[in-house]
Amino acid sequence: MSLTVIEKIWNEHQIADLGDGTCLIYIDRVFLHERTGSVALKGLEAAGRKVRNPEQAFCTMDHIVDTFPGRSDDTTLPGGTAFIQTTRAAAQAAGINLFDLGDQRQGIVHVISPEQGIALPGATVVCPDSHTGTLGGLGALAWGIGSTEAEHALATKTLVVKKPKTMRVNFEGELPTGITAKDMILKLIGEHTASGGVGYAIEFAGAAVRALPIEARLTLCNMTVEFGAWTGLIAPDEQTFAYVQGRPYAPNAAQWDQAVAHWRTLQSDPDARFDKEISIDCASIVPQVTWGTSPMHETGIDGLVPDPAQIADSAVRSSVERALEYMDLQPGTPLEGVPIDAAFLGSCTNSRISDLRAAADILRGRKVAPGVKAICVPGSGLVKAEAEAEGLDKVFTDAGFEWRESGCSMCFFAGGESFGLEERVVSSTNRNFENRQGPRTRTHLASPTTVAASAVKGYLTDVRRIGAAGD
């Protein structure tokens, strides 16, 4: 029988078909963070259960930690210190791998998992965080779970999972100059809605996907959940193997050839059948930016704010009206030129070294516009160190950006630091929901280069209009 890559990985990990559309699946690796992981670890402790294979369980501090220089366990989030300290004690007691504050390997869970070789081609990886699908960029079958499921996975190395349908999304042709993986995924969500992937596991394919470097593939898969999908992945290839080789938790030299031989089989068979297929012509993609309060509220930077009066569906019209009221935008307004108050570079979507290099290329020799608050938060301590070794931190600070420690920071607001009431932010993050970055903060999602260009101009900007550094 011909199989998709998703089905191949699923079948390798299926322990039992439970007969009701669900299967018992073996879980290779479990990753926790301090916002939800402490619940799972304390639950195990209270039940008198142990982590089955602690060497295959991992934990980091990322969601609640402050990112200010010289940080400690203290946070701006009320009660945040207790989360950090409780998680630390529980992780140490359980004997799992902990990337703590002060450890250069600490960072955002979905950044350090590929960075450390924890996520691997063909592996099943779970985390109590909705953006775990990011790891599909390496060919892992990875998905977000709840804290109770995390407890079960830690104790048994298994989970009961409903088998998803399969979808292939083909990005055909070459990406135009200035177009990024962030623009690709926003284009998909904008064209096919935030519920277009519900019930599906997605394979991203096509010439443009094969041409993407690994960190861009991670960005593409990161926002699969914003498309409503269970997960997304890209079949591993020679680029993947080169990226993984030599990382701390990857197969060692003695195991390497055997691992790669297996990973090369993780391709969809030529005549494999998907439940649904979508194709997007990359020539049609321009830099994308959101105008509303859902990732599907997006258009090209050369587009206009939509007019709800032109929308026939009353429910859709009402949601657009609400979004425009929240965002304080008028129908027909050109998106390019909308003034901003702040710019944010970071998150599990776009905080890797390639993202920082791309943004720095725009910022080099330029200054952030007066009145714009600009912040850059590297995705891990290792990303931060690499950027500093290349002098990127100086590029950012010379331009007027704050240079921070690693963490999730203002990707989301949980009662700590925020941009402020009704501030308008261009952000490289993944969600622009109401109040996501602070009370009534108005968020426009975009690529790191669009964020950098907009910070310089002081308004939403088409990065293609920005010339070489210093022009």
Measured distance CA(224)–CA(213) in Å, rounded: 18
pLDDT for res 319: 97
Q: At what angle do helices 214-222 and 181-192 cross, to 10 degrees?
A: 30
Q: Is the pTM of this model over 0.75?
A: yes
Type and span of the H or E element at 403: strand 401-403
**Domains along the chain with CATH numbers:** 5-161+241-258 (3.30.499.10), 165-236+269-284 (3.40.1060.10), 288-465 (3.30.499.10)
Please state, in angstroms and rounded to a whole number, the distance separating the CA atoms of residues 184 and 171: 8
Q: What is the mean pLDDT of residues 32-50?
A: 92
Q: What value does the mean pLDDT take over residues 25-38?
A: 94
d(Cα 37, Cα 127) in Å, to the nearest integer?
A: 9
- Our CA angle for 22, 26, 32, nearest 5°, is 105
32-41, 182-191, 296-305: lowest mean pLDDT where?
Answer: 32-41
Q: Which helix (H) or strand (E) covers residue 144, if one does?
A: strand 141-144
pLDDT band at 38 (very low <50, low <70, confident <90, very high): confident
pLDDT in tens, 236-267: 999 999 999 999 999 999 999 999 999 999 99
The per-residue pLDDT for 467 is 66
The pLDDT assigned to 381 comes to 98
For residue 58, list its beta bridge partners. Answer: 31, 97
> Using alpha carbons only, how large is the chain's radius of gyration in Å?
21
pLDDT, tens digit, 9 for 90 and up, residues 88-106: 999 999 999 999 999 999 9
| Local confidence band at 336 (pLDDT 50, 70, 90 cut-offs) | very high
The stretch 168-190 carries a mean pLDDT of: 97
> Distance between CA 451 and CA 368 in Å, rounded?
11
Checking if the pLDDT of 471 tops 60, the result is no
Find all residues with CB under 8 Å of 35, minimum gap 6, and list them. Answer: 63, 64, 83, 414
Tell me the mean pLDDT in the region 131-155: 97
**What average pLDDT does range 317-333 have in this prediction?**
98
Tell how strand 288-290 and strand 14-17 pair up.
Answer: unpaired
Q: For 195-214, what is each residue's pLDDT tens digit?
A: 999 999 999 999 999 999 99
Q: What is the mean pLDDT of residues 372-389?
A: 98
DSSP 8-class letter at 454: H
Per-residue pLDDT, averaged over 17-21, amounts to: 95
The confidence band for 395, taking pLDDT boundaries of 50, 70 and 90, is very high
Q: Residue 60: pLDDT above 90? A: yes
Mean pLDDT throughout 325-347? 98
Cβ atoms of residues 359 and 345 within 8 Å = yes
| Mean pLDDT, residues 220-227 | 98
Q: Residue 183's pLDDT is what?
A: 98
58, 99 contact by CB (below 8 A): yes
Closest CA to 361 of 438, 464, 449, 278: 449
Confidence category of residue 1, pLDDT binned at 50, 70, 90:
confident
Q: Is the pLDDT of residue 320 over 90?
A: yes
The arithmetic mean of pLDDT across residues 109-138, rounded, is: 98
pLDDT at 373: 98
**Which pLDDT does position 37 carry in this prediction?**
86
- Assigned token pair, 244: 């993984």
- Write down the pLDDT at residue 414: 79
Rounded CA gap, 66 and 73, in Å? 8
In this structure, of 45-59, 224-238, 340-354, 455-469, the range with the lowest mean pLDDT score is: 455-469
Q: H helices within 204-297, ranges in order?
A: 207-210, 214-222, 238-244, 253-263
